[in-house]
Structure 1
Amino acid sequence: MITADHGESFNEHGKNYWGHGSNYTPEQVQVPLVMHLPGRSGGALERRTHHADIAPTLLEELLDCESAPQYYTLGQSLLDVESHRDWMLSGSYMGYGILMPDYQVAVHPTGAFEVYDYRMNELDDIELQARVSNEVLRALSRFYR
């Protein structure tokens, strides 16, 4: 397997973002993932994936784990053909991002948040859906007891 934990920004959008951990643009969150699974033919996924998808993929395919992924991760197998997610979580040093298909929500430690498109233009007219907010809060609390 070949992957990375983050990408790097080089001020692609003219907003003075450099390095990593400062936003959730594709330059910072989209990284290569190349995986070889013995006995499987090659292919490419055209959908959004998450690093949390690696564990269930390896556990199911290489170690014959039968425990449902929801017991140990927010991810799902990369080989799941029915895979669909409206949102994904991405962490930074201080807060986290909710990555929607067309925009990102940057949530700060204080609970304040900002909504941006993926070119770091602030979007004032978008409200996060209550269903998504509830799902994110449930996901964030799943492994803390």
Structure 2
Amino acid sequence: MDSIDTLADAYALAVYEKDEAAFLSLYDMDVLVFDAWGPWSYEGRDAWAAMVRDWFASLGEERVKVTFTPEKSLVGDDWAVWCATTRYAAVAPSGEELRALENRTSWSLRRRDGRWRIVHEHSSGPADFETLKVTLHRP
């Protein structure tokens, strides 16, 4: 994988195919993930793998189509920061979109052996100060 866009495409395909191995190969062994769901953080690819396995298993026959809208990136020789708005759409076996949500995604990446890998992922949605409800659709 020679570009971050290629990594983002591989992420989307792995999620759609529910391919745990392909998905996890995008992450560094020592990844730290601040996910919008579940525990405060996942430290290491093994901890992240348990969440991914549960997520993919929970989908049943549905698939998830991921669409990234890149917002900003800073790329050096071996390090990069990449930020995007990410849309996750549940798709029925018939192809019908059932529901969707959006969040904000930031990746810190390291290039090793010519491949970018995610060393830190942060996903979030803005929370209303009054209600503490999280917004999962971009205005």
Q: TM-score, normalised by structure 2?
A: 0.27
Higher strand share: 2
* Greater RCO, CA 8 A, separation 6+: 2
Q: TM-score, normalised by structure 1?
A: 0.27
Rg: which structure is higher? Answer: 1
